[in-house]
Chain A
Amino acid sequence: MATEFKLPELGENIESADVANVLVKEGDTVKKDQAVLEIETDKATIEVPSTVEGIITKLLIKAGDKVKVGAVIMIVDEGKNAESKLVEEQHKAEIEKENNVTEVKTEPEVEYKAAPSTKSSGKKEIVDFRLPDLGENITSAEVANVLIKVGDIVSLDQAILEIETDKATIEVPSTVAGKVVEVLVKAGSKATVGNVMFRVESVVAEAGESETLEVKKTEIEEPLKVEVKKEPVLTPTGDRESLQRMEFENQPPVLKGAAPAAPSVRRIAREIGVDINKVPGTGPGGRISMDDVKAFSKKLHESYSQSGGAGLNIKSESLPDFSKFGSVNKVEMTNIRKKTADHLSYAWATIPHVTQFDKADITLLEKSRKDLNKNSETKLTVTAILVRIIVEALKKFPQFNSSIDMEKKEIIYKNYFNIGVAVDTEFGLIVPVIKNSDKKTLSEIATEMNALAEKARNKKIGLDDLQGGCFSISNLGGIGGTYFTPIINSPEVAILGVSRGNLEPVWNGYGVFEPRLMLPLSLSYDHRIIDGADAIRFLRFVVETLENPIKLLL
């Protein structure tokens, strides 16, 4: 029975996609969920799994085609009827005697297991390791370090790459095992999710989990198939060779997607910082005139000033040639530094910051903290205590646990309590988030904070650990200082800065100045949503709770 396999829905608003790779050919047997296509959408390269199974009798697409959702990709003979299929296939095989169609000619059962059978009968197999999904919206990253080389034996979950994303440096664990035969990335190169990073020759273990009994049976019956598998591995190299021979293989693919605009127009656009490809052309065939560029640029500026992005579009002043004044060193910004710079500039430019200061008397708190630490394995820290207090403060003042959507003119209140704690690492500022702090005890929070900070310093932190914060705490007290004005970690709306506690003479009300340990606190808040009076109330609550921790129980 012939069934059509159509390109399924690919997700949000994707109507069509480019076929990057066809992973099957006519005559192949496909299983349900076997990847049959690799398609490239705007966002990523995706493997499309089959929803049908059987023998492919007709393949209607090839690499490079544009395919609409719903278009027929292949016709599959859903072979319950083994007899007729066999006849048909034999017939076909006769026509293309020399081809490898022989593979299909065997017993129907075998066909189900075509892929695993090659695996076991071939003993060795080349397996690609592709860069896995790195988390939301990350499509590519810079390779910071390659931890393997050709000839190495890698095992599952062994760290094989260090990659630097916008947010952090992450180690990527291997999902394949075997001997590395080819490494396709190097430090400093850009890696795209879905691209092949390296290839291993995997020696297939006899008792692989996925290999069923039937597989072993097919192994005996079909020793032929090893060659079939080899084909796709060999073709690309052949291609490359022939390319190199071409003498005029040298024209750059210049016209691909180039906007129809005269050189002078393109240059002006570049000079004034307009992406020519985004300018709508009013001429015939969408040709872009100088006026189109100017109109587009004017519109851009208007929309910037409307969105209130005060100063976001400010051109950076040109720098003087510093080397005229003395010797300098130039170092490229790391991704974390770039991201920090962009993120903080954005927060600084879009959020009207106000910082409120106060001091808390932590003499008693410190005494009992130190006492507790003497007999306990987990060491309580002031920051851990502050995390706990902030949770209570957020419960009391929910506007501090919110975000603003200026486009929709909405305030989003959060009913969860994830507190970020800034950590200073040698490769930049990182803010790990302690999830659901309201459900954790003080010592749990302290333990988790230590673990996260350790992970951050060892570059082991996952993106998950850095996302979803509600409120941040930045404690610089360990280093020193009296007060500072922290910048809000947008889209959060407030941040607490903690400086060093100092012994100060405090008037006790009974005619004596007493030495008290005073902790300076700075609360920066988003004045769009938080009023000054509320900010003082919030900070007073924090101060009073520090001075009188019993308030936590109220």
Chain B
Amino acid sequence: MSDKIKLTVIGGGPGGYAAAFLAADLGMDVTLIDLDKNPGGVCLYRGCIPSKALLHVAKLIHEAEEAKNWGIEFGAPKIDVNKLRDFKNNVVNKLTGGLGQISRQRKINFIQGRASFINSSTLKIEKVDGQTIEHTFEKAIIATGSVVTTIPSLNIQSKRLLNSTSALDLPEIPKSLLVIGGGYIGLELGSVYQALGTKVSVVEMMPGLLPGADRDLVNYLSMRIKKSFAEVMTNSKVLEMRELVPSGKEVKGGISVKIQDDKGTVVDKVYDYVLMSIGRKPETKGLGLENTKVTLTDRGWVKVDKQLRTTDPNIFAIGDIAGEPMLAHKASHEGKTAVEVIAGHKVTFEPLAIPAVVFTDPEIAWAGITEEQAKKDRIKYEVAKFPWAASGRAVTLDRPDGVTKLIVDPDTQRLLGVGICGAGAGELIAEGVLAIEMGANVTDLKLTIHPHPTLSETIMEAAEVFFGQSSHFYKPKR
């Protein structure tokens, strides 16, 4: 009998494959189960990666347009949707294919199918080739992620009602699009379609876009979106939707929408397409969890402890299904932690900061504590902000619409949080995450030489602002 631990990972997203790969590296006998042909999950097939490919294109279109102001004119772009879709699909295939190869190199038993628990040591797998097999394991990791949420009353049967998955398939470039939900998915996809020439409107129930993020960061984005989007309706909600059937020349196809605006007035509007992006939720149905000792939290997530163990001693859970934040990088880190725990290492999931990035234009990113959270939890803090208008690099890019801010413990001057809004904020935030994880204080940031001229300097300068000593932003210490 082999003394290798027999581990089965259900779900091949960024959490699942990271777990499977590390487990193989640690010498376990690993099976990875996923419905898709290769590992990758929502992130690679239907989420982060395809949307970023499209957002890259969107950014290019915007910059080409803005080049007018710098004396360069390209003329209106000609967009070949089919070719653009191919580019996106190629990106996805390249990356998922690569993961498949790495998985084989690691001698992982990859099964394409749908798994559900028969008991705490056996799975039933319905393979995509039609075969059904039983599969036993010593330890299992549930990494099946989340699915898009919908508003049941608005769930009409129409090709013109998109969700984040179908929106990424680029059925065509609509003339007008209503995005329901001003969260990051809605704004990212809305930005893509806006760049491609669609008139995009957003409706959000809360008073502002990106609820939960600090307002001073969101403001720059709101300002830009208000200019580029056709309409931003906050404090508003969609009451009803109905597909219009084309009839002769008078009525073209589309979706008629009843919207209640911030004043309570109900208006009727017609859009070519509607994208519902109100969030994601864990999907626990169909996994056969009732045949195990796994239990759920009140809000529907699988209950896990800090070592990602579920209430069933054989079963672990990671990623979206194990709770918020539902982010790929959280899932991967959890996946690796779970595998280490299974390998008998004494570890727990204990990050000090999980960065969040919204890939809009400008990007918004933060890590550690937000100001909103600090206020809510009554944590003592001080803020130091460096506006990008004072950054040489931002001005050369003609993108002064940004800010870098540090949230600092006034007693120890320890860095508690970093928030950045601006072009490339998603890349810049990593420095903040490392600083928080290392327990760095503001002086550490101030005394670290940053390359000139780069946007990364804004972090150092924000630290200087804390002491009232920023070279490029005069704001004496009170």
Contact = CB atoms under 8 A, between A and B. Distances in A.
Interface of A: 64-65, 244-256, 258-263, 266-267, 270-271, 283-288, 318, 324, 330
A456 B346 CA distance: 39
Nearest to B374: A255
A229 to B, nearest CB: 27
Interface string B365-377: 0001110010001
Contacts of B437: 262-263
A248 B210 contact: yes
Given A247-B183, A270-B346, A285-B441, A255 B416 contact: yes
Interface residues of B, number: 46
A245 B379 contact: no
A545 B173 CA distance: 103
B439 A287 contact: yes
21 contacts: A244-B299, A245-B205, A245-B206, A246-B211, A248-B212, A248-B213, A249-B324, A250-B325, A251-B354, A252-B325, A253-B373, A254-B353, A255-B379, A255-B436, A260-B414, A261-B439, A263-B437, A263-B438, A285-B439, A287-B439, A330-B313
Interface in B316-330: 324-326
Interface in B419-478: 436-439, 441, 443
A64 B205 contact: no
B211 A285 contact: no
B352 A248 contact: no
Nearest to A273: B346
A492 B324 CA distance: 51
Given A64-B378, A270-B347, A255 B370 contact: no
Contacts of A288: 439
Interface of B: 1, 3, 183-184, 205-206, 210-213, 279, 299, 313, 324-326, 344-348, 350-354, 356, 368-370, 373, 377-379, 409, 412-414, 416-417, 436-439, 441, 443
A287 B346 CA distance: 23
B352 A250 contact: no
Given A64-B378, A267-B347, A324-B1, A247 B438 contact: no
B1 A254 contact: no
Given A248-B211, A256-B377, 9 more contacts: A247-B211, A248-B370, A250-B324, A250-B325, A251-B373, A263-B351, A288-B439, A324-B1, A330-B313
A202 B413 CA distance: 52
A324 B212 CA distance: 50
A254 B213 contact: no
Nearest to B441: A285
A469 to B, nearest CB: 37
Contacts of A255: 352-353, 368-369, 379, 416-417, 436
A262 B326 contact: no
B441 A247 contact: no
Interface majority SS (helix, strand, loop, mixed), chain B: loop
A261 B414 CA distance: 11
A285 B415 CA distance: 10
Contact of A286 (B354, B379, B412): B412
Contacts of A287: 414, 439, 441
Contacts of A318: 344
A187 to B, nearest CB: 12
Nearest to B299: A244
A506 B377 CA distance: 79
Given A253-B377, A287-B439, A288-B439, A260 B412 contact: yes
A254 B368 contact: yes
Nearest to B379: A256
A271 B346 contact: yes
A271 B347 CA distance: 7
Contacts of B436: 255
A287 B409 CA distance: 13
A330 B313 CA distance: 9
Given A245-B206, A270-B346, A287-B439, A252 B369 contact: no
B356 A284 contact: no
Given A253-B373, A258-B352, A246 B1 contact: no
A260 B313 contact: no
Contacts of A250: 212, 324-326
A65 B412 CA distance: 20
Task: Give the interface centre of A245, A247, A266 by most chain B CB atoms within 10 Å.
Answer: A247
A68 to B, nearest CB: 16
Contacts of B373: 251, 253
Contacts of B439: 259-262, 283, 285, 287-288
Nearest to B353: A254
A258 B299 CA distance: 26
Contacts of B347: 267, 270
Contacts of B212: 246-250
Contacts of B325: 248, 250-252
A140 B346 CA distance: 27
A266 B213 contact: no
Contact of A252 (B313, B354, B378, B414): B354
A248 B379 CA distance: 18
A254 to B, nearest CB: 5
A64 B1 CA distance: 58
Nearest to A330: B313
Contacts of B379: 255-256
B30 to A, nearest CB: 18
B348 A270 contact: yes
Contacts of B378: 64-65
B238 to A, nearest CB: 15
A261 B417 CA distance: 15
Contacts of A245: 205-206, 211
Nearest to B416: A255
Task: Give the interface centre of B206, B210, B212, B379 by most chain A CB atoms within 10 Å.
Answer: B212
